[in-house]
Amino acid sequence: MATSARRVRAGMDVGRLDELMERLARVDRGVTVRPVREGAPSGDWGTQRLYEFDGWEVGWITAGSIEAVAAGRTVAEAVEAALNALGEG
């Protein structure tokens, strides 16, 4: 079966993902992390933004919605950008 998912290497630096998870949990949200490819649309519903690099998108999810918050070339970079966007940087 073909898949577009990339393998995550052992020991990947996820930065302050634990802090982001705790921050979002305070407002009943979970964290999403997904790989993105250059030229692919962002995870924001209703937008037509395209990624300009290969990397990772970090966002939040609830029972009824999902939203991309930030992206970076590494998970750690995307997490840091998300914390900054949420005022926790």
Q: What is the mean pLDDT of each run of 10 residues along the chain (89 residues)?
A: 55 93 96 93 75 94 91 96 88
CA distance readout (Å), 6 to 37, 85, 86: 11, 26, 27
Domain ranges of the chain: 30-85
Cβ(55)–Cβ(36) under 8 Å?
yes
pLDDT of residue 34: 92
pTM score, whole prediction: 0.82
DSSP state of 61: E
Pairing outcome for strands 66-72 and 30-36: unpaired
pLDDT of residue 49: 84
**DSSP H or E segment with residue 77:** helix 75-85
Q: Which residue has the tokens 């924001």?
A: 44
